A = this chain, B = another copy of it.
Amino acid sequence: METTPLNPARRRLLAGSASALAAAGLGATGIAQASDAPAKPPAPAAKPLPPYAAWKDADSVIVHTPNTIETKRSAFGDGIITPTRQLYVRNNLPPPNPSILDDRDAWTVEILGVKQPRTLTVGELKTLGVETMATVLQCSGNGRKFFPHKPSGTPWEVGAAGCVMWTGVPVRALVEYLGGVEGSPSFMTGTGGETLPEGLDPKTLLVERSVPREAMQDAMLAWEMNNEPLTLAHGGPLRLIVPGYTGVNNVKYIKRLAFTAEQSPAKIQQTSYRMAAIGSKPGPDNPSVWGMEPKSWITAPGADRQALKAGRAVVRGVAFGGMHAVKRVDVSIDGGKTWKQAALIGPDLGKYAWRQFALPVELSAGQHVLVSRVEDSEGNVQVEARVENADGYVNSSWRDHGLTVNVS
């Protein structure tokens, strides 16, 4: 499993990237959604699930490409935890060979930037401690479909998100075991274990993400998702979970976790996942896509476009604060003109989980626009308008996420 050393001096710059990609079979399916390829709406005919995710529930998902699979708005249910069979998939590269799951406990991860740097197996990690937590996992580009300038990348609507239960060892327990962080590094940098094609500058494709060091406080190296050993599609045998941060920061197949002075030099850190003005070329000076914003959307009724009858109905949806707990959710059935507070239903799984909400309403005949708006414990309210940006990241607009239903 080749990974790029953090030391930039050891990197090779090679010509012929495009042909190398093609040779590695990473063309259309592998990285189209990570590259600057033009946005492609999902084809009208349902695409088949790729082999590594063949066990997903085909009725609950929209297959955009083999590496981008979205949960349907109507398939979230009201039980908080998104079943693994329904959870979205978004891989920046094709997953490693499934044989890496043959002996899960033998997978190794190198820990650097601590007083006693070393490589540990998953088997060893399991002897250090165990925690379980629920987090919202959301692709940075979820909601991209609503950007009118048609940014490159997958046109996700609401379904590149789920609420997932993770089990693993807290990063802080691991760091403590290794003597603590060395010095005062500003970042925690995780490196994915995807197989990189030969003959190409690894930094072009390597999945290596840096987040502010403080994120280590709640981060975890997880080997279980929703009570089952972590699947290949979702980063098994070991994944870095950084609660509150968008999906890409939760590095799959993690091979190295380092406390570093600088952010990763990989392209995915330097120029991708940056909030840049439309028309400009994103770069390291633009803000990185890290923490999530307060966001909510309606999931029922009418998300599957079934005919609705006038009368009583219960409007439901999901809401999260991103970095903070949900305080309240308001719902409007007239597109935001008037609002009523919804009830939060079900147990509270912690500040990084989402809450499900419900509001009984009377729906009259005609067209209604159902919208929701969440406020977090710090008083931050979900924005009405998206923050425009070149690549269409972090769309939290309540107006964009409205659900139009026809009632007869």
Q: Taking beta carbons and an 8 Å cutoff, which residues of A are in contact with B?
A: 76-84, 86, 126-134, 165-167, 224-228, 311-314, 316, 345-350, 353, 356, 358, 360
Interface CB pairs A-B, < 8 A, 23? A76-B227, A77-B227, A78-B132, A78-B224, A79-B165, A79-B225, A79-B226, A80-B227, A83-B227, A126-B314, A127-B360, A128-B312, A129-B360, A130-B314, A130-B345, A130-B358, A131-B346, A132-B345, A132-B356, A133-B347, A165-B346, A167-B346, A347-B349
User: When A and B form their complex, which 7 residue pairs have the shortest distance between CB atoms, in order from nearest?
Assistant: A132-B346, A79-B227, A77-B227, A127-B312, A78-B167, A79-B165, A347-B349
What is the CA–CA distance of A76 and B346 in the complex, to the nearest angstrom? 22
Given contacts A78-B130, A83-B226, A130-B316, 19 further A-B contacts (CB under 8 A): A77-B167, A77-B224, A79-B166, A79-B167, A79-B228, A80-B165, A80-B227, A81-B227, A83-B83, A83-B227, A127-B314, A129-B358, A129-B360, A130-B314, A132-B347, A133-B347, A134-B346, A347-B349, A347-B353
Contact of A311 among B78, B82, B86, B127 (CB under 8 A): B127
Q: What's the number of copies of this chain in the assembled complex?
A: 2
CB neighbours (8 Å) of A132 from chain B are 78-80, 345-347, 356
What is the CA–CA distance of A78 and B345 in the complex, to the nearest angstrom? 24
CB neighbours (8 Å) of A81 from chain B are 81, 165, 226-227
CB neighbours (8 Å) of A83 from chain B are 83-84, 226-228
CB neighbours (8 Å) of A224 from chain B are 77-79
Looking at chain A's contact residues, is the secondary structure mostly helix, strand, loop, or mixed? loop
CB neighbours (8 Å) of A82 from chain B are 227
What is the CA–CA distance of A80 and B164 in the complex, to the nearest angstrom? 12
CB neighbours (8 Å) of A79 from chain B are 132, 165-167, 224-228
Contact between A346 and B127, CB atoms less than 8 A apart: no
Given known contacts A227-B79, A227-B81, A313 and B127 CB-to-CB distance under 8 angstroms: yes
What is the CA–CA distance of A167 and B86 in the complex, to the nearest angstrom? 17
What is the CA–CA distance of A360 and B177 in the complex, to the nearest angstrom? 13
What is the CA–CA distance of A226 and B165 in the complex, to the nearest angstrom? 12
Tell me the nearest residue of chain B to A165, going by C-beta.
B79
- Kindly name the residue among A80, A227, A228, A347 whose own CB sees the greatest number of chain B CB atoms within 10 A: A227
CB neighbours (8 Å) of A347 from chain B are 132-134, 347-350, 353
Least Cβ–Cβ distance between A236 and chain B, in angstroms: 13
CB neighbours (8 Å) of A133 from chain B are 346-347
What is the CA–CA distance of A404 and B194 in the complex, to the nearest angstrom? 40
Tell me the nearest residue of chain B to A361, going by C-beta.
B127
CB neighbours (8 Å) of A227 from chain B are 76-83, 86
- Kindly name the residue among A84, A127, A313 whose own CB sees the greatest number of chain B CB atoms within 10 A: A127
CB neighbours (8 Å) of A312 from chain B are 127-128
Least Cβ–Cβ distance between A238 and chain B, in angstroms: 15
Tell me the nearest residue of chain B to A360, going by C-beta.
B129
Least Cβ–Cβ distance between A385 and chain B, in angstroms: 30
Least Cβ–Cβ distance between A59 and chain B, in angstroms: 11
What is the CA–CA distance of A14 and B131 in the complex, to the nearest angstrom? 57
